[in-house]
């Protein structure tokens, strides 16, 4: 039997606000397989982003287990977790979160630099060409439009050829034209890299393109 790429089992997550316990995730389980594209939908506050962050080890669950290729991620230390994120995951956020102090190419190469690796400049430039920004590599994020920044963020997420791409409303801050472009690029690049893709979105049109659609309602999967 083939192990799923990422398996989340019985995840619980709550926050405390003014002495009130807000339960965000209540016994959420899911499996993500290789090459699979999953869309997570749900209303605001349903726990979509929290789930995505837990799947990406950017946050921790109160309870439950997370396994990557059958290996538990629960007891990994900071060093091991950061290595896991660096080697296996690629993140795209609703806001591009590019580093304004670095130019386009440097932003894309940052995942290599962070780990002290020799950067694959050829691949980085190829990705930037694919997202239509090969002529902007020396530009800084402040010189680009929101759509262009998100395209750079897309290239940055994919530059290390991750096994799993996690995107939190990647088109949420963009107009429809740029949103469609990002969508197209995201699917094209995912197909090329054979990575699994998990996207949190409100966009019904976008959701139709995924192989699996899941909906969170009040911290549970909708039945």
Partner 1 sequence: MKIEWLLMRRFFWNKEALSTRSTLFALLGLSLGVAVLYVALSVLSGFEKTLKNSLIDVGGHLKLVKRSGHQEPWQELFAQVQALDQKVLFGTPFLTLEGVTATQGVVQGILIQGLDEKTYSKVLKIEDRLVQGTLDLTKKDRLFGAVIGTELASRIGKTVGDNITLVVPRFGELETTGYRRSMGQFQIRGILDMGKYDWNERLVVIELSEAQRLAEVKNRYAGLMLKISDADAAENMAVELITKLGPPHWVRDWKSEHENTFAAVQIERRIIFFVVFIIIIVAAFSLVSNLLLQSMQKISELSVLKSFGMRSRQVIRLFFIQGLALGLAGVSLGLILGWLISVGLTFYQARFGLIAGSVYQISNIDLSVRAWDLLAIIISTLLISVLSGAIPALRAARLLPSEGLKND
| Residue 79 token pair | 């060093």
| Range 74-93, binding partner 1 (CB under 8 A) | 78-79, 82-83, 85-87, 89, 91, 93
- Residues 138 to 167 in contact with partner 1, rule: CB under 8 A: 156
Using rule CB under 8 A, residue 222 touches partner 1: no
Give CA angle at 97 (91, 103), nearest 5°.
110
CA–CA distances in Å: residue 86 to residues 49, 51, 171 = 20, 19, 23
Burial (CB count within 10 angstroms: exposed 0-12, middle 13-18, buried 19+), residue 215:
middle
Residue 27 touches partner 1, criterion: CB under 8 A: no
| Contact range with partner 1 by CB under 8 A, out of 17-25, 38-46, 53-61, 178-186 | 53-61
48 binds partner 1 (CB under 8 A): no
Smallest distance, Å, CB 31 to partner 1? 22
Quote the least distance from Cβ 10 to partner 1, whole Å: 20
DSSP letter for 4, please. Answer: P
**Count of alpha carbons within 13 Å of 218, Cβ hemisphere only?**
1
- What is the spatial distance between Cα 198 and Cα 68, in angstroms, rounded to a whole number? 14
Nearest-approach distance from CB 206 to partner 1, in angstroms: 21
Please give the Cα distance from 119 to 158 (Å, whole number). Answer: 13
The Cα 34–Cα 195 span in angstroms is 6
Question: In terms of CB distance, is 113 or 204 closer to partner 1?
Answer: 113
- C-beta of 116 vs 223, nearer to partner 1: 116
Under the criterion CB under 8 A, does residue 64 sit at the interface with partner 1? Answer: no
Two structure tokens written together for 176? 């429809």
Interface with partner 1 includes 211 (CB under 8 A)? no
Per CB under 8 A, residues contacting partner 1 are: 50, 53, 56, 58-60, 78-79, 82-83, 85-87, 89, 91, 93, 95, 97, 99, 101-102, 110-111, 113-116, 156
């Amino acid at each position: 039997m083939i192990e799923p790429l990422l398996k989340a089992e019985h995840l619980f997550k709550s926050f405390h606000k003014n002495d009130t316990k807000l339960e965000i995730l209540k016994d959420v389980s899911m499996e993500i397989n290789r090459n699979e594209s999953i869309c997570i939908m749900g209303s605001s506050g349903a726990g979509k982003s929290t789930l995505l962050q837990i799947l990406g080890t950017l946050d921790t669950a109160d309870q439950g287990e997370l396994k990557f290729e059958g290996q538990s991620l629960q007891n990994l230390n900071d060093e091991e977790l950061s290595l896991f994120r660096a080697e296996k995951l690629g993140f795209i956020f609703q806001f591009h979160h590019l580093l304004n102090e670095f130019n386009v190419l440097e932003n894309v190469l940052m995942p290599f630099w962070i780990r002290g690796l020799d950067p694959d400049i050829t691949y980085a430039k190829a990705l930037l060409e694919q997202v239509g920004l090969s002529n902007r590599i020396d530009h800084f994020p402040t010189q680009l439009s929101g759509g262009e920044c998100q395209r750079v963020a897309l290239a940055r997420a994919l530059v290390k050829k991750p096994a799993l791409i996690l995107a939190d409303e990647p088109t949420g801050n963009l107009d429809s034209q740029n949103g469609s472009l990002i969508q197209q690029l995201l699917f094209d690049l995912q197909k090329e890299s054979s990575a699994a893709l998990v996207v949190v979105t409100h966009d019904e049109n976008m959701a139709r393109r995924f192989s699996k659609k899941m909906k969170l309602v009040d911290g549970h999967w909708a039945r």
